[in-house]
């Protein structure tokens, strides 16, 4: 198990592929669902 194993996270990073172990949307940008406040311009 290592870089050559496509069933591991390290193997997917090495090959540059995605899957269940390495999802594309890892970080959630807005986890609470709060809308950002808009700045009021003059």
Instruction: State pLDDT tens for residues 1-42.
Output: 788 888 888 888 888 888 887 778 756 666 677 777 777 776
| Predicted pLDDT at 28 | 61
pLDDT at site 3: 87
Cα separation of 41 and 12, whole Å? 46
pTM score: 0.47
**Nearest of 31, 37, 30, 3 to residue 17 by alpha carbon:** 3
What is the per-residue pLDDT for 42? 67
Give me the count of residues in the chain: 42
- Distance between CA atoms of residues 22 and 16, nearest Å: 10
């Amino acid at each position: 198990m290592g870089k050559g194993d496509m069933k591991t996270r390290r193997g997917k990073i090495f090959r540059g592929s995605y899957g269940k172990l390495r999802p594309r949307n890892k970080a959630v940008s807005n986890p609470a669902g709060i809308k950002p406040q808009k700045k009021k311009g003059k």
